[in-house]
Amino acid sequence: MAKKPVDKSKPQQVENDKTNKLEEFVADSTGQRLTTNHGVKISDDQNSLTAGDRGATLLEDFILREKITHFDHERIPERVVHARGSGAHGVFKVYEDMSDLTRAAFLCDPGAETPVFVRFSTVAGSRGSTDLARDVRGFAVKFYTQEGNFDLVGNNMPVFFIQDAIKFPDLVHAVKPEPDNEMPQAASAHDTFWDFISLLPESAHMIMWTMSDRALPRSYRMMEGFGVHTFRFVNAAGVSHFVKFHWKPLLGVHAVAWDEAQNISGKDPDFHRRDLWDAIEAGAFPEWELGVQVVAEEDEFKFDFDLLDSTKIIPEELVPVQRIGKMTLNRNPDNFFAETEQVAYHIGHVVPGIDFTNDPLLQGRLFSYTDTQLIRLGGPNFHEIPINRPVISVHNNQRDGYMRQTINRGKTSYGPNGIAANDPQQTKAADGGFTSYNERIDARKIRARSKSFFDHFSQARLFLNSQSDPEKNHIIDALSFELGKVKMVEIRKRMLGVLAHIDKGLAAAVAYNLGLHVPEIPLNELNGSIPADADPADYTPEQKEGVLTKSEALSMANTIKDSIATRKVAILAADGVDGKSLSKVKDTLVAQGAVVHIIAPKLGQIISAEDQKIQVDESFLTAASVLYDAVYVPGGTNSAASLEAEANAVHFLNEAFKHCKAIAADAGAIQVLEAGYFFKKLPAEYSAETVLREGVIVSDDLSSFTDLFVQMIARHRFWEREVPRKIPA
């Protein structure tokens, strides 16, 4: 008997249709009370149970553990977050003995070389998503030390969206594709994310970072890394210092344009993965310096923010970053799955001399990471997978379980024991055994957040104020794009209200692009971690005299721009090209460490004006300007005429100009540039000053031309080309 068709336009029929066997399993939470999975009503889903408002998170918090356990087991087999990743092997060496701060041996011996494995990743997308999504980038380093593995599991941004780990499942559920239609992939520009964010003011600072150019790195090799949390260094005498970890790339910090990122996603979604792999294969080993910000125990409360709050930074003007060592990535994995996919990081993998603080986000992560690996890698023996094994031998009484590889000899698997003389035995702290920092805890069990965590907007404002004008414009554009994709107008309005608490001019600029007015939304209507009876002064404190209002370190415009090493330069050419000019410029760029590709109308070879054969690297069908950092067009009558008539060549230059890249041409190729839309915008006469402002040079003097072109490429981008916009007063 045929099924009766269901008319979905009539909800009553769907409800009464007994052929829908899944109907009894459908849950609608509209108007319902929040409960645990076992039906217990929850009075506070915003805060973990802690020993006092700044104390450690308690293991008895069954609500936190149930929520995070369920979250950790929601995806198999790929990671729930950080699924899209790339990895590489390398080494780390400390510059000088750090034993005055920590007894971690790998930080105390400048002669030691510690192997590392690093995994970079996007956060929100699946394994098959693009590298160029607007997203946070994971920056996880596994140190294989002689005292065991130490995992520094961080991001390319120094803060996070939430203050308490109990909110992490909510954050990820909100940013992931919406559950009814599984869209959009690897994107935060949708209703559920901004609905959540607009109700969680503590995310304000992180939103400034993710809407900035930091979310669109040019390369994994050109982005900073941060430990995010405040950790502890503990020396041999048991003296503790607070520490924040930084990775500073020696190539500087660079980004791509948003329009460029979208184009790259179509042209080469593996752009970052390929870039890292190719650089290492070519011997251009990426390097970062490890930096630390160190705060004495007695200075814990001297700042106008809380060191335990993961939505806050310590501005470098207040505590400078000390660069203490260098990491070099020098070997690609032999097998992506066995190494990059199976590597298991855990923030709880520490060595003697490095310890935790009571940061409630860090405390939840200490539980979550091991729990995640249990389901993702099939059981408790994931540490025996080769990429996860320490370089020293492991001895304990743990046995059996899925995928056990170690064959343990002997009769005993318990301690204490008399049969085996109590082996394996404990190690005293003085002999290298790990001991936790002896921190006093004396507090009542509560679900609440310390008032020192309440200010959600001052550092968001600090970040915005620290950006260059082009960077501020990019934040406006990013917020306008993201909120423009939000379908529910009330969510847009609510988010504008949040932005107004950061900066009214920013909110006004975004509101103008959305065709809306900025609403006045009281803080206690924003929900999240702000209680209904809160004092607004606790959340938007007045600017105190002497408090930092701008930090140079927060702007990418102030980072290193003195090298063209590994930058990719396209040379556009065709038959009849001036071979001498092409060779001179190419040789100069390669000598400076750049990667140069010759791009022509077709693959194979072109014949120069000197009748020499020149090998072509890419054709206009296989190449695109978004895959390169700069463009050069050599002279040659026939070559210039061919390129002028080649629409793809003209588009290549137009797009490079649009994305603010360095462009150079011989005077004999000026007709190619004149075919582009941008040429009429340039000054009539050239000087070094105008060239370094505009980023375009046409010259017949190769002696000065090449040096100037190198300076232009080192600048990375000429954001000044973009239409200037000011944030309204």
Q: What is the pLDDT of residues 184-231, one digit of tens each?
A: 999 999 999 999 999 999 999 999 999 999 999 999 999 999 999 999
Model confidence at 75, in pLDDT bands (50, 70, 90)? low
Q: Is 155 a catalytic residue?
A: yes
CB 68 within 8 A of CB 168: yes
pLDDT given at position 187: 95
Distance between CA 242 and CA 157 in Å, rounded? 19
Q: Which two tokens stand for residue 428?
A: 């005293």
481-492 average pLDDT score: 97
- Cα of first residue to Cα of last residue in the chain, in angstroms, is 71
The stretch 667-680 carries a mean pLDDT of 91
Q: For residue 5, is pLDDT > 50?
A: no
Confidence category of residue 365, pLDDT binned at 50, 70, 90: very high
Least confident among 341-345, 433-437, 597-601, 720-724: 720-724
Task: State CA 158 to chain mean position distance.
Answer: 9
Helix (H) or strand (E) holding 607: strand 605-607
Determine the Cα–Cα distance for residues 420 and 599; give it in Å rounded to an integer. Answer: 71
Tokens of 536: 């607004």
Q: How far apart are CA 572 and CA 580, in angstroms?
A: 14
Omega before 724 cis (within 30°)? no
What length is written for the chain? 729
**Confidence label for 233 from pLDDT (cuts 50, 70 and 90):** very high
Residue 524 pLDDT greater than 90, yes or no: no
567 assigned ligand-binding residue: no
At 445 the three-state DSSP class reads strand
> What was the pLDDT predicted at 546?
65
Catalytic member of 47, 82, 190, 241: 82
Which has the higher per-residue pLDDT, 280 or 727?
Answer: 280
H or E segment and range at residue 46: none
pLDDT of residue 393: 85
Report how far residue 621's alpha carbon sits from residue 290's, in angstroms, rounded to the nearest whole number: 42
Signed CA dihedral, 498, 259, 253, 113: sign only: positive
Q: Which of 47, 89, 149, 155 is the catalytic position?
A: 155
Q: Where are the beta strands (DSSP E) in 239-370?
A: 240-249, 287-296, 322-331, 354-355
User: Which is it for strands 568-572 and 595-600: parallel, antiparallel or unpaired?
Assistant: parallel
Provide the CATH topology of domain 561-721.
Rossmann fold (3.40.50)
Q: Which residue has the tokens 């040429």?
A: 679
Sorting pLDDT into bands at 50, 70 and 90, what band is 294? very high
463 is in an annotated binding site: no
Whose CA is closest to 352, among 443, 238, 473, 246?
238
CATH class in words for 49-388? mainly beta
Q: Which of 258, 218, 271, 225 lies closest to 244, judged by CA?
A: 225
Q: What is the mean pLDDT of residues 458-476?
A: 96
Position 212 scores a pLDDT of 98
Contact 667, 635 (CB under 8 A): yes
- State mean pLDDT over 59-87: 84
The DSSP-derived string for 635-653 is: --HHHHHHHHT-HHHHHHH
Confidence of residue 9 (pLDDT cuts 50, 70, 90): very low
d(CA 592, CA 629): 14
Distance of CA 639 to the CA centre of its chain: 42
pLDDT of residue 729 exceeding 50: no
**376 known ligand binder:** yes
Q: What is the mean pLDDT of the chain?
A: 90
Kindly report the number of other CB atoms within 10 A of residue 11's CB atom.
Answer: 9
Secondary structure E strands in 156-282: 225-226, 231-234, 240-249
Report the alpha-carbon angle 91-334-401, nearest 5.
Answer: 90
The 10s digit of each residue's pLDDT in 112-161 is 999 999 999 999 999 999 999 999 999 999 999 999 999 999 999 999 99
| 3-state helix, strand and coil shares in percent for the chain, rounded to the nearest 5 | 35, 15, 50
* 3-state SS class at 362: helix
Ranking 522-526, 547-551, 565-569, 624-628 by mean pLDDT, the lowest is: 522-526
Q: What superfamily would CATH give domain 460-554?
A: Catalase, four-helical domain (1.20.1370.20)
Task: Break the chain into its structural domains and give their ranges.
Answer: 49-388, 460-554, 561-721
Residue labelled with tokens 């396209």: 570
% of the chain exceeding 70 in pLDDT: 91
For 158, which DSSP code?
S
DSSP 321: P
Contact 314, 307 (CB under 8 A): yes
For 196, the token pair is 């959540």
Residue indicated by tokens 């889903």: 45
Answer whether residue 432 shows pLDDT above 90. no
Fold matches, 49-388 and 561-721: no
670: confidence class by pLDDT, cuts 50, 70, 90:
very high
- pLDDT band of residue 23 (cuts 50, 70, 90) is low
pTM of the predicted model as reported, rounded to 2 decimal places: 0.89
Longest CA–CA separation in the chain, Å? 91
Beta strands in 544-585 (DSSP E): 568-572
Task: Consult the annotation and say whether 721 binds a ligand.
Answer: no
Tell me the C-alpha distance between 340 and 82, whole Å. 12
pLDDT at 723 over 80: no
Q: Is the pLDDT of residue 688 over 70?
A: no
User: Among the ranges 25-29, 320-324, 396-400, 419-423, which has the highest mean pLDDT value?
Assistant: 320-324
Question: At residue 170, does pLDDT exceed 50?
Answer: yes
More confidently predicted of 382 and 628: 628
Residue 378: the pLDDT is: 87
Quick one: which of 552, 151, 155 has its CA closest to 320? Answer: 552
**Catalytic: 82?**
yes
